[in-house]
Amino acid sequence: MWHEERLFINGELRDADGGATFDNINPATEEVIGVSADASQQDFDDAITAARSAFDLGDWSTDVSLRVRCLEQLHDALQDHVEELSALTVAEVGATQMACSSIQVVEPLKIIPFYIDVAQNYEWRTDLGISETLGGECQRWVEKEPVGVLAAITPWNVPNQINLAKIIPALAAGCSVVLKPAPDTPWTGLALGKLIAEHTDFPPGVINIVTASDPAAGSILTTDDRVDMISFTGSTETGKKVMEAASGNITKVFLELGGKSALIVLDDVEDFSMVAATAAFGMATVCGQGCALSTRLLLPHSRYEEAVEAIANMMGAVPPGDPSDAGTMMGPLISARQRDRVERYVQSAIDEGAKVVCGGKRPEGFNRGFFYEPTLITDVDNSMTVAQEEIFGPVLVAIPFDDDDDAIRIANDSIYGLSGAVFSGDDQRAISVAKRVRTGTMSINGGVWYGADVPFGGYKQSGIGREMGVAGFEEHLETKAFSKPT
C-alpha cells in the first residue's frame, strides 16, 4: 500500500531518533498494516528548531508568491494521489469509500485553493490616514503579519480534513508549522510529508510532521517558548490541559473541542423522513465519531413515538460493514478502546432507566474489527450521562420537549456549544429557534454548513476561535500598527 512511515523534519524524510517505530492497526480487521516512526523528544525539538529557523531566517513569512506556488504544488500532488490517499484512509481510519469521496478525502482538498485565493487577495495593509497626534501630524497604518511557529495537534476521526484545516491556512498566512497527527492515524499525516518532499518547493523547515505512539509525547509543543501558537482539536478535557500548559508562555491557542449538539424537531414537521435520514447519515459517515454531529435528538412530546419509529427504522437500515466494500455505509470505530467506551455509555443509559430501541451491541457475524451497531436510546432525560457527555460513537439519544422554549432550554443545557440543527415546516420559525441556541454552527431543515469558506468552532467548552473560512486564516495573523510623521 502507498504510504510513508518516516518523519518529515527540516525538508527531509527520516527515521525517528534511535529508529523506534510503532504499529499501525486496521480497525476493521485488527491487523497490523505497517509501522510508523515513533518520535523521541529530540525529534520534536528538531522539528521546532527547524520551524523556528524557517520562519525567522527564510522568505516564507514575507513572500506570498512563494507560498502560493508551494500550496498549488501540494494541491496538485494531492489530487494526483486521491486514490492512494483514499485507500490509505480506508485501511487506517476504517472510513468507508463513500466517506472518502466526501468528508474524509475529496472535500478537504478544496481547502487548499480557497486559502490560495485568500492569501492572494487579502488586505495585508490598511491605511488609517493622517491625524494630528501628540507628536504632531502623522501618517498611520495597520499591517497584518503571521503569528510565527504553529504547533498543530490533530485527532484521528477525520484526519485528512483536520490536518489540512490546520496547516493550510497557517501556511498561507506565512507561518511555519509542526504537525503532530494522532497515533491512531499516523500515515494520513505522514503522507503529506511524502508529497511535500517529492512534489513541491517548500523550503526546509516550513512544514514538519512528527508522529509518536504516546498521545502525550507532543507535550513539548505546548510548553516550548519557540512555539507562537498551538492549534488543538480533541476532547475538552485534553483541551484544558493544552490551555493550561500554554499559559506558561502566554502562547496563543486555538481549541476545537467536544460537542453534544442538539437536533431539534419542531411539531410542525410534515414527516420525519429527512430528520431520520439526517440522523442516520451523520452516524454512518464517521461511525458517530464526529464532534459536530447532532447526537441529542429533541423531539416534541406530541409526536415523540412517531419520530422515534422513523429514526429507528432508518438507523436499522445502516448496518456496519467492511469499509473496503463500496456498498458499505458505516465502518468500524477506531479502536477497541473506543468501542469499550461506547459500550460503557450505553450500559450507563440502561442503568439510569433509558431504553435501547435500536442497536446497542456489537453486530453479529464479525469476529474481528471494532464494529458497533447504530444505536438509538429513548426515555432519556437531559440530566442523564448519555445526554451530557460526548460518547463519540454511533449512539443517539432521544429527549422529549414541550414547546419551542423548552427545546431551546434543553439544547442550551450543556457545557458544549459546537453545532446543531432545527427542522420545522416553517423556515422562519426554525431560524428563530436556531438563533437562540448558543452554538457555533446550525443547520436549518437539512442545510449543510460545512465548506472551506465557512468558519467552524464552538461556544462555551466546545472551544476558542474559528477554523476554516477567512476567520480561520486570521487566527494565524498578528496586527501591527505603524505611524510616521508626514
- Catalytically annotated residue among 256, 373, 467, 475: 256
Helix 64-80 / helix 186-199 crossing angle, nearest 10 deg: 120
Nine cell digits for residue 13: 524524510
The helix (H) or strand (E) run that includes residue 160 is: helix 159-173
For cell 512528527, what's the residue?
210
- Residue 331's nearest CA partner among 108, 27, 31, 84 is 27
Q: Are 418 and 458 in contact (CB under 8 A)?
A: yes
Helix axes 64-80, 159-173, angle to 10 degrees: 160
Task: Check if the beta carbon of residue 300 is closer than 8 Å to that of residue 268.
Answer: no
Contact 189, 8 (CB under 8 A): no
Q: What angle do CA 173, 179, 182 make, to 5 degrees?
A: 140
Cell readout for 337 is: 478502546
- Return all residues near 86 (Cβ < 8 A) that are at least 6 apart: 97, 100, 101, 104, 105
CA gap 156, 163 in Å, rounded: 10
Which grid cell is 133? 497626534
> What span, in angstroms and rounded, lies between the C-alpha atoms of 197 and 185?
20
Active-site residue, from 291, 373, 390, 475: 291
Give the pairing of strands 420-423 and 176-180.
unpaired
3-state secondary structure of 453: coil
Query: Does 70 participate in catalysis according to the annotation?
Result: no
| Pairing mode of beta strands 7-9, 12-14 | antiparallel
Radius of gyration of the chain, Cα coordinates, nearest whole angstrom: 23
Residue 256: active-site member: yes
Whose cell is 506556488? That residue is 69
User: CA-to-CA distance for 395 and 376, rounded, in angstroms?
Assistant: 6
Sign of CA dihedral 89, 93, 97, 99: negative
Listed in sequence order, the DSSP H helices in 325-484 are 336-351, 385-388, 404-412, 427-435, 469-474
- And the C-alpha cell for 373? 451497531
Residues 342, 362: Cα–Cα separation, whole Å: 10
The conformation of residue 143, written as its DSSP 8-state character, comes to E
Which residues form the catalytic set? 256, 291
